[in-house]
Amino acid sequence: MVWRVGVIGAGTIGRELGRTFHTVGYDVTFYDVNEEVSNKLQNNGFNVARSLDELVARTDISFICVPTPTNGGRFDQRHVEEALGSMIEVFRRNPTEHYHVTVVKSTVLPGVVDEILRRNHYWEVSNKLGICISPEFVRGKIAFIDFFRLPFFVVSGYDPEAASTLRRFYEDFKGRSFANFEIFETTPNTACLAKYVSNCLLSCKISFFNEVAKLCEVLGVSPYDIVKLALSDRYPTHHWYLEDFLKGGFTDECLPKDLDALLSFARELGLELSLLENVKRINDDKVAATCQEDVEEAV
């Protein structure tokens, strides 16, 4: 079977995702509400649908890659709702349409898709339209390259058949692309939150190294050397290691004392490492709470 793949939303991520699938031999069809975008894709030799009805008729699985901006700092779901609501309406109008899976690739907050599905009465068509959430973990500028180098894909479905279908697709893609990735199956809320936490962790790393760069400048040390050495990562993300810290914060022999020492050293140089100060505060609160829980359990 050669999967027929639809891509809804042909911005940077959607375009590169579709190009990735096209490269490994899938029959890819794009749909975008912007006719100029669709015309450009068509002129470049790609298949284009002029309506979602046409896209569904020509595909087995589709990926929603529409923008999810913020408006006044708050998540704006209108593009995702329009795409999902319109897909549901396609199957409401055509109840005999073949089974199809739609995968939300766009970054969405936990609970957003649940709300959209409820408001659009998704369960009326759920026997023909499966919904999954599978966030992407790629960088926009080099998304095409990243899609072949991802260490994992996430599968989360609103019913077992949808999840199973998406897993089979990813397994087929793995075989065609010769990529080496794991497939993690989880719940929709976990998938959504994992994407945000991943991006926020990266944000923390960037701000952390920019903060450390101030200390490097005072000491005449290359911040690039520090970044390279620090990211050598003595501690791979083994589950046992992370679970130990999640239970009670970090209380080992090295981390607390070294954090205190570096903070004191920076203060003596007239620098405030605010991110690390907050790291210490959060950990102190966690350790204190854990100790209190231990006391209560012992009583």
Q: Report DSSP letters for the chain, one per residue.
A: ---EEEEE--SHHHHHHHHHHHHTT-EEEEE-S-HHHHHHHHHTT-EE-SSHHHHHHH-SEEEE-----EETTEE--HHHHHHHHHHHHHHHH-TTPPPEEEEE-S---TTHHHHHHHHTTGGGSTTTEEEEE------GGGHHHHHTT-SEEEEEESSHHHHHHHHHHHHHHHHHHT---EEEE--HHHHHHHHHHHHHHHHHHHHHHHHHHHHHHHHT--HHHHHHHHTT-SS---HHHHHHHHHH---SSSHHHHHHHHHHHHHHTT---HHHHHHHHHHHHHHHHHHHHHHHHH-
pLDDT at site 52: 96
The pLDDT confidence band at residue 232, using thresholds 50, 70 and 90, is confident
The pLDDT confidence band at residue 150, using thresholds 50, 70 and 90, is very high
Residue 93 pLDDT more than 60? yes
At CB < 8 A and 24+ separation, what contacts does 136-139 make? 136/13, 136/17, 136/65, 136/105, 137/195, 137/198, 138/13, 138/16
Contact 275, 211 (CB under 8 A): yes
pLDDT at site 291: 82
Q: Which residues pair with 48 in a beta bridge?
A: 30
Whether 194-298 and 4-188 are alike in CATH topology: the answer is no
Contact 49, 6 (CB under 8 A): yes
The pLDDT confidence band at residue 290, using thresholds 50, 70 and 90, is confident
pLDDT at site 231: 85
Domain edges within the chain: 4-188, 194-298
Please enumerate in sequence order all residues whose Cβ is within 8 A of that of 191, keeping only pairs 6 or more positions apart, or say none. Answer: 133, 134, 135, 154, 156
The pLDDT confidence band at residue 62, using thresholds 50, 70 and 90, is very high
pLDDT at site 294: 76
The pLDDT confidence band at residue 234, using thresholds 50, 70 and 90, is low
* The CATH number of domain 194-298, selected from 1.25.40, 3.30.1490, 2.60.120, 1.10.1040: 1.10.1040
Half-sphere exposure of 17 (CA within 13 A, CB side): 30
Q: What is the mean pLDDT of the chain?
A: 92
pLDDT at site 271: 95
Residue 239 pLDDT more than 60? no
pLDDT at site 128: 95
Ranked by mean pLDDT, the top range of 24-33, 94-103, 251-260 is: 24-33
pLDDT at site 74: 92
pLDDT at site 95: 76
Residue 96 pLDDT more than 90? no
pLDDT at site 241: 57
Work out the angle between the directed axes of helices 112-119 and 188-219 (0-180°, nearest 10).
150
Residue 280 has which token pair?
Answer: 């210490």
pLDDT at site 244: 65
pLDDT at site 251: 82
Percent of the chain clearing pLDDT 90 (strictly above): 82
4-188: what CATH class? alpha beta
d(CA 207, CA 275): 8
The pLDDT confidence band at residue 124, using thresholds 50, 70 and 90, is very high
pLDDT single digits (tens) 164-176: 999 999 999 999 9
pTM: 0.89
